[in-house]
Amino acid sequence: MLLDGARVTLAARTESSLRTTADSLAAAAATGGGRVEWIACDAMNAADVRKAVDRAAQGGRLDIAIAIPGGGNYSRILDYEDDRFLEEVAQNVWPQFLVIKYAGRAMASAGGGSIVAISSTAAIMSTPFLAAYCAGKAAVDQLVRVAADELGAHGVRVNAVRPGLTRTGATEGLFQPSVVSRFLAEQPIARTGEPDDVAAAVRFLAGPESSWITGQCVNVDGGHTIRKFPDLSDLV
């Protein structure tokens, strides 16, 4: 998006990571004529999310919002602590709701925009030992559909991307040969995902090329969802 000339505002909890990421994107910003800024934000905190949206919209309109937060831990359903299960569900859906609410308000008042949530293939596949994560991501998918239905009248589109096994800092622990081979056995396209695979789908849904698409959840997974989740029971 920076290469398209966009002014991008990054929002996350850790200032040092934000600075490092902003610096790494400076060259792309210069090439495309865009600009990158950042603001510290706890996505579980409504006031922080509202402040981040206000910062992104400062001096103009907010055209695009990307909601990424989420995560989970492996546990058998029978072993979950009661409060921990609820916390993990909230960790996946609450930040998405806050972004849709506050970014949606800003976009509606300005005449339109595009919101893209990051969901997961776990929203539609049985993913044993990730029950809270699955429940949270399934809630994200339904939230996206309802938000798209409500906000369409204001010119705001809402969609989601469901990544499969993609190499990021959060998933590095899964990238062991014995684990990766099990995933690839369940994928027609036998390679793992890279951040750029997901970014390309997000860019499409955020941009004008998808102007007649809303309320959709797009799988970016090498075809994993047409098969099944691998058996990881011996690792839990």
What 47-55 contacts at long range (C-beta under 8 Å, 24+ apart), as own/partner pairs, is 49/11, 49/95, 49/98, 49/99, 49/102, 50/98, 50/102, 52/9, 52/11, 53/99, 53/102, 53/103, 53/105, 53/106, 54/106, 55/9, 55/11
Q: How many domains does the chain have?
A: 1
Whether 220 maps to a domain, the answer reads: yes
Whether 25 maps to a domain, the answer reads: no
pLDDT of the residue at 71: 92
Structure-block tokens of residue 184: 């690839």
pLDDT of the residue at 29: 87
Domain that holds residue 145: 63-235
Whether 33 maps to a domain, the answer reads: no
Whether 177 maps to a domain, the answer reads: yes
pLDDT of the residue at 27: 87
Name the band, by pLDDT with cuts 50, 70 and 90, for residue 98. very high
Name the band, by pLDDT with cuts 50, 70 and 90, for residue 30. confident
Task: Confirm whether pTM is higher than 0.85.
Answer: yes
User: Residue 127 contacts by C-beta under 8 Å, 6 or more apart in sequence?
Assistant: 121, 133, 134, 229
Calpha distance 231→152 (Å, rounded): 40
Whether 116 maps to a domain, the answer reads: yes
Q: Which CATH number goes with the domain that contains 82?
A: 3.40.50.720
Whether 192 maps to a domain, the answer reads: yes
Can you give the length of the chain in residues? Answer: 236
Whether 27 maps to a domain, the answer reads: no
Say whether pLDDT at 187 is over 80: yes
Write phi, then psi, for 125 (nearest 5 degrees). -110, 145
Averaged pLDDT of the chain: 96
Whether 31 maps to a domain, the answer reads: no
Name the band, by pLDDT with cuts 50, 70 and 90, for residue 105. very high
Catalytic residues: 133
C-alpha angle 161-156-211 in degrees, rounded to nearest 5: 65
